Chain A
């Protein structure tokens, strides 16, 4: 059975059509805002694109000019968070607002895992036209978690959320809480794609495994994954996650970006990889080209040629357990 976006919001107690979140009946001609379809719909619009980390308006402009589908506004890219240490928090609303005023593409921002107040602030920020809210919130392991037990209940917000995951169970738990987009975590700020590959392989492998299961096996699978049963069932029926599945964490070259698309990513986040490289404007453009033409090796030769210095990478095996960002979140 083919499912539409509408009936993927299974774990939530109320229906989306012709009723608001209080369960009151509304007229079908009355605009109904921030529905599940609206949230997942924006993620659909970002497919096949590159979302770039930017720390100021100038970088946001470069990203938009290069063809980014969205920018992630943050004060420090993950490579600097890793270098500086300390607690990483939500960015100053002033810098986020400046970026909202600079570009016409969607603007995302990060809040700490479980930080309800930061999320509400990002939802309430207004741009200079008076329009409200960043367009997507990343409840991100790249920042220092505020709650080590609970993630946000994301269905409660008007802004859609993206969350990181390392495996299928984590992905489905986040979707159960209301994430409208999933990104595999990778290991942010390393310029090393190996963890991104591991996480994408794990998620896609998990999906393929469920597809081949007998119906009787699904409940045990849900128990083993620690995932909501109805979402496991969705994966079994549709052979994919109920929301778009993007890739992040360690993507540094056009070839890395193309690799993630080949492994099943539907779009790519690039953090430190662009503005920590030799020629950010050119690299940003080539990343975009690589994601559009990921299936065309000749084009990939072209976009990989004479690109200059990528960011310096870190061998994950040299990192201490405490330095890993991907292990934050559960």
Chain B
């Protein structure tokens, strides 16, 4: 909320819209005080202060990124300092390494974050679940009601990766510099805390550095 008479700069968040729950992300970004817009072309990526890779099917989104030349544009945006937040499929896309369980169907990744990810780590859809998880970096007291859908986990994290949250002793929230990932979907529970953290603690500080 901006003070009366003072216009606050609204952070522009590009939400990748190949496929997936990008609308839910846009709504959550708006609630968190940002200005969301959909990204489908390399040109649209350039104008974003921060980027979100939504939930969806990682195989599909990965293939479309390559087909439309967005993979290069996303890597360039990251190397020029644009923060990126990935949920679920988005987390898989940001990972450097995919667990060898991915023998079926090639998974394209952008290879930006020093983590190894196992896909569908809890099983198929009937094993999708929700659970409370605490992410002290974001909120020390109030846990997130985390919705996991055919969710991945992080099985290995490099030394520069900050582990922010776990469920059943498995890493599901992490940050490395201006990359943030969560295996669950805060955008599906009208919980704006993760997005506010991304906007205020990662994207906003990065604006002055760029």
Binding site for B on A (CB under 8 A): 2, 4-6, 17, 28-35, 37-38, 41-42, 44-49, 61, 64-65, 67-70, 100-106, 123, 127, 131-136, 158-160, 285, 288-289, 291-293, 296
Count of A-B residue pairs with CB < 8 Å: 158
Q: Can you name 20 A-B residue pairings with CB atoms under 8 Å?
A: A6-B189, A38-B125, A45-B57, A45-B89, A46-B56, A47-B20, A48-B20, A49-B56, A68-B60, A69-B56, A70-B57, A104-B104, A104-B120, A105-B60, A106-B150, A131-B127, A133-B125, A135-B150, A159-B126, A296-B40
Partner of A103 from the list B22, B104, B119, B126 (CB cut-off 8 Å) is: B104
Contact yes or no, B126 A5, CB < 8 A: no
Contact A105 B105 (CB under 8 A): yes
Contacts of B24 in A (CB 8 A): 44
- Chain B residues proximal to chain A, CB less than 8 Å: 17-24, 40, 55-57, 59-60, 63-64, 67, 88-89, 102, 104-105, 107, 119-120, 123-133, 143, 145, 147-150, 167-168, 185, 188-190
- Say whether B149 contacts A104, CB under 8 Å: no
Q: Give chain B nearest CB distance to A188 CB in angstroms.
A: 23
Q: How far is the CB of A75 from chain B (nearest CB, A)?
A: 21
A266's nearest neighbour on chain B, judged by CB, is: B23
Q: A4-B190, A41-B149, A159-B125 are in contact. Are A104 and B130 (CB under 8 A)?
A: no
Q: Are B124 and A103 in contact (CB under 8 A)?
A: no
**Min CB gap B108→A, angstroms:** 11
Determine if A127 and B131 form an interchain contact, defined as CB atoms under 8 angstroms apart. no
Q: How far is the CA of A139 from the CA of B126 in the complex (A)?
A: 17
Which residues of A sit under 8 angstroms from B185, Cβ to Cβ?
41
Complex CA–CA separation, A9 to B93 (angstroms)? 32
The reply to whether B147 and A45 contact each other, CB–CB distance below 8 Å, is no
Check if B64 sits within 8 Å of A67, measured CB to CB: yes
* B143 surroundings in chain A (CB, below 8 A): 28
Which residues of A have CB within 8 Å of B149?
Answer: 38, 41-42, 45
- Whether the Cβ atoms of A38 and B64 lie closer than 8 Å is no
Contacts of A45 in B (CB 8 A): 20-21, 55-57, 88-89, 149-150
Say how far B86's CB is from chain A's closest CB, in angstroms: 14
Evaluate contact between B131 and A132: CB separation under 8 angstroms. Answer: no
Partner among A44, A105, A158 whose Cβ is within 8 Å of the Cβ of B126: A158
Which of A6, A33, A69 lies in contact with B19, CB distance below 8 A? Answer: A69
Q: How far is the CA of A292 from the CA of B64 in the complex (A)?
A: 9
Contacts of B147 in A (CB 8 A): 35, 37-38, 41
Q: Which of A38, A64, A292 has the most CB of B within 10 A?
A: A38
Q: With A65-B63, A70-B57 in contact, is A44–B125 under 8 Å at CB?
A: no
| Contact in complex: B125, A69 (CB < 8 Å) | no
